[in-house]
Structures are given as C-alpha cells and as structure tokens.
C-alpha cells in the first residue's frame, strides 16, 4: 500500500508540473494544446491496442464525447494562457477554485440538493481569491483566466461523472482527446487569421519543445491517467480525490523551486505575504471539502442503516 500511495502522490506531482511545462514550451497556448492532444490521443490509442481493449462505441455517444473533448481543449488553452499572463503560482491559485465551481455546477446540472457546508467553503474560497487578487493586481488578468479555466474543468468533470459509468476510462479519454485535437484543428484557420496578430499558426517546434511535449503528453497525460485508473482499484476514491486536491500545492512548490534556481521564465514566483495568505485559504477549503463530504456520507449511511433496523 505504501508503494501505491507514493505512486499516487507522484502522479499528482506530475499534474502539478503541467503549468510549468506550459512555461517551458515556446509554443502559444492553442498550438501547444493541439500538440498535447494529438500526442495524447495517439498514445492512448496505442495503449488500448497493446491491452487489446475495444474502442468502438455508438455514434451518438462518440459525438457526445468528442463534444466534451472540445470543452477540455478550451480548458487547457485557458489554463496555459493564464500561466503566460501571470506567474505559475497565481495561475494555480485560480485553478484551485475547481472545488467551488463543482459545488455550484453539480446542483444545477445533476439536480442534487445544495450542501450548506459547500456554501461555507465557497465563501472561504472567495475570501482567498479576494486576497490573491488584491495582492497581485498586475497579474489579475492571469488569475481571472485561471478561474474561468477552473470553471470549464468543473463543467466537463460533472459531465464525465455520468459518462464514466457507461464507458471504460481509457476509452472515454481517447475520444475526448481526439475531440479536443479535432476541434482545435477545425479552429486553426480562424485562429491563424484573426487571433495571431499576423503571425499565423505556429506549429513548428524549437529547442527542447519536443522533449517537454513528450513529457506533457506521454508522462503527465497518458502515463499519469492510466496509472491513476489502476490505483483506483486498490485505493479508495476518497483518498484519491483528497490527494488530487494537493495538485496546486505541489505546483506552487515546484514553481518556487524553479524561481529559486533561476530557471528562465520563472521570475515572478516571489510573491507577497497577502498572496500566500489568500492561497492558503483557497487550499484549505479544497482540502477540507472531501473530509467533510466523506463524514457527511458516513453520517447518512449510518442514519439509513438505523432507519432500516427500526423499520
């Protein structure tokens, strides 16, 4: 079990490294996500072939997954854009609002009751966001883009919570990566004409771009995802979700280390005390949420069991 827990934390560390890779790769966010999704879809297809798992699904379901893939592409583009507009730490602070977005979207889309403790944690998150925004006013655009990106991530996560019950995770992810890549490919002509200020689409790789892209697509996407699915067979979903919530913590620590060792592109990671106070409040709400949720579920199960005995 210790080995499994260490592997799980290593995977979350890899996911926390993605914003840093976005800084290291010279491509603009749209082109970067195109390459990432293309390589990830290719890797996932190869993984399914090696494992001899079927990949065919009904046409209607395929279209639904491809559409969610376009949502994933938009999330990743805004995520990498936020890291370019601000520091990695500010971007990850904005992304830590994922739990807040999920608590808002699930009652709307899945018709479940609003949980009072989620409202309270949401208010704590808002206080943290206010402190971060006031501390780093010059990086406010990057923070706002990161918050929007977190909302997009929460949106497709809510959709996937239903779809993953009907499709194996690897096959589901293959279709979503393919949909993400296809949607960007269709958008590239418009993007190159109206959104690049005359520079056009920049798909050519330079320097260590190939290496960082292979790490991003192969290690941080295909390997990390397939391993997390394997670990979920032996580790409870509560422990997995609680550990995944550490992703912003690991990412910020890595970004500060990159700044400390004077890695090019990481000159903004020395931030004010108010920023770290706000970030601690956001992360506190993120880490407390699954603990309260687990306690609440156990309380409900005990009550239901008691009602059965009384009945």
Three-class SS string for 108-157? Answer: HHHCCCCCHHHHHHHHHHHHHHHHHHHHCHHHHHHHHHHHHHHHHHHHHH
Answer yes or no: are the C-beta atoms of 300 and 136 closer than 8 Å: no
Report which of 227, 274, 255 is spatially closest to residue 16, judged by C-alpha positions. 255
pLDDT for the residue numbered 141: 93
pLDDT for the residue numbered 203: 92
pLDDT for the residue numbered 107: 83
pLDDT for the residue numbered 237: 59
pLDDT for the residue numbered 38: 96
Report which of 77, 129, 133 is spatially closest to residue 99, judged by C-alpha positions. 129
pLDDT for the residue numbered 307: 65
Using CA atoms, how far apart are residues 74 and 64, in angstroms rounded to an integer? 16
Residue range of the domain that includes 13: 2-310
List phi, psi (to 5°) of 236. Answer: -65, 150
Tokens of 135: 């501390």
Low-confidence ranges of the chain (pLDDT < 50): none
Report which of 28, 17, 18, 140 is spatially closest to residue 77, judged by C-alpha positions. 28
Structural domains counted in the chain: 1
H-assigned helices in 195-246: 209-214, 224-231, 237-244
pLDDT for the residue numbered 34: 97
Sign of CA dihedral 244, 70, 223, 21: negative
pLDDT for the residue numbered 309: 64
């Amino acid at each position: 079990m210790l080995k499994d827990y260490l592997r799980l934390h290593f995977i979350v560390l890899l996911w926390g490294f993605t914003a840093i890779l976005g800084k290291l790769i010279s491509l603009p966010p749209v082109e970067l996500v195109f390459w990432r999704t293309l390589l990830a879809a290719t890797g996932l297809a190869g993984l399914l072939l090696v494992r001899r798992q079927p990949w065919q699904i009904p046409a209607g379901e395929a279209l639904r997954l491809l559409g969610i893939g376009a949502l994933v592409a938009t999330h990743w583009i805004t995520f990498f854009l936020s890291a370019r507009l601000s520091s990695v730490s500010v971007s990850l602070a904005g992304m830590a609002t994922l739990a807040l977005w999920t608590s808002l979207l699930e009652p709307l889309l899945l018709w479940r009751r609003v949980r009072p403790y989620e409202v309270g944690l949401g208010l704590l998150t808002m206080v943290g966001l206010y402190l971060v925004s006031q501390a780093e006013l010059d990086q406010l655009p990057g923070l706002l883009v990161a918050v929007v990106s977190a909302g997009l991530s929460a949106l497709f996560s809510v959709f996937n919570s239903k779809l993953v019950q009907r499709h194996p995770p690897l096959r589901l992810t293959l279709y979503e990566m393919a949909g993400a890549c296809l949607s960007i490919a269709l958008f590239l002509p418009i993007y190159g004409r109206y959104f690049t200020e005359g520079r056009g689409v920049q798909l050519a790789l330079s320097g260590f771009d190939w290496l960082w892209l292979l790490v991003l697509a192969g290690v941080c996407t295909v390997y990390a995802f397939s391993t997390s699915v394997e670990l979920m067979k032996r580790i409870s979903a509560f422990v997995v979700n609680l550990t995944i919530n550490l992703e912003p913590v690991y990412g910020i620590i890595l970004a500060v280390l990159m700044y400390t060792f004077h890695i090019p592109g990481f000159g903004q990671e020395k931030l004010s005390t108010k920023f770290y106070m706000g970030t601690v409040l956001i992360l506190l709400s993120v880490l407390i949420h699954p603990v309260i949720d687990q306690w609440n579920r156990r309380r409900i199960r005990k009550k239901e069991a008691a009602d059965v005995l009384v009945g």
